[in-house]
Structure 1
């Protein structure tokens, strides 16, 4: 008897499907290199002209934008109804938005910082590459799965 489990199929997402999923979220993670090592920061974001925009104060995220280092941006989620998880990753270079006209266009997307304090710098990531995937998740073991695991919701 074969006891090995068959891996769940992994479905690659089209570019349009990736953008659609990005439109459904408001928080993602920006990954960049700081002092020679990777750092990941949660940011709330908006989409404007097929780019990802966030606001920040001075610091590591702004530094990455100023030095045009490559960055990655990631969101993920879980659809309890379909019992599928998904992930989207965008890669490119971050750029500081300096034009007031461009800042006004971003403000029309209602991008308001969540964290208190001045977030006067607007940063844009126009992805040079974007990938996404969706996959069916394993049915949870109801006795051994944490109560906070979102997979439980579709079986309870």
Structure 2
């Protein structure tokens, strides 16, 4: 990215690397025919997205509306990225699949009991990285306090 205004389409491999480096995303589905977005903490396991949930709307939605989107993003002061996974959500049910999901070490961020795993099997993965606009009058992107 030589131009500070450039947007770059990410490779599928880069998308998975970015997804694996963060833990909070959004499940996009429909509930009673209406679009719904649910924040979830998740992990990447074997190029799938895995999250835990309790009995309720997310679990029912994943079972009924198995065509879902999952989105995660990240940013610094100078650039940002966004990755979208279009896929099929399935409740993890067999003992073998549950054991594999448990090996991912995914722990719920909240105190509520989240007994059910849901895995999103991707049909497509897309992502973009972009630099933020330069600070007015400086011609350079904002300095990132972490990356310098």
What's the TM-score bracket when you normalise by the shorter of the two chains? Answer: 0.7 to 0.9
The question of whether the paired residues in 1 share the 8 Å contact of 2:50 and 2:118 is answered with yes
1:121 aligns with 2:116: yes
* Match in the other structure for 1:57: 54
TM-score (norm 1): 0.82
2:24, 2:122 → 1: CA distance? Answer: 17
**Could you list the runs of 5+ residues in structure 2 that have no partner in the other structure?**
none
- 1:86 paired with 2:81, answer yes
Residues 107-144 of structure 1: CA distance to partner in whole angstroms, max 9, x if unpaired?
222101111122111100011011000011013459xx
Q: Does 1:14 align with 2:11?
A: yes
2:42 alignment partner, one of 45, 61, 65: 45
Asked whether the 8 Å contact 1:46–1:106 carries over to 2, the reply is no
* Cα deviation, residue 7, structure 1: 8.8
> Which of the two has higher C-alpha Rg?
1
Determine helix, strand or coil for the equivalent of 1:55: strand
1:152, CA displacement in angstroms?
5.5
Q: How many residues align?
A: 141
For normalisation by structure 2, the TM-score amounts to: 0.86
Q: CA RMSD in A?
A: 2.2
CA change 1:69–1:152 in 2 (3 A) is: same
Segments of 5+ residues of structure 1 without an aligned counterpart are 1-5, 143-150
Query: 8 Å contact 1:68–1:95 — kept in the other structure?
Result: no
> What pairs with 1:60-75 in structure 2 (closer than 5 Å)?
60-75=57-72
Which 4+ residue blocks in structure 1 deviate beyond 2 angstroms?
139-142, 151-156
Aligned partners of 1:33 and 1:69 also within 8 Å: no
- Structure 1 counterpart SS, 2:86: strand
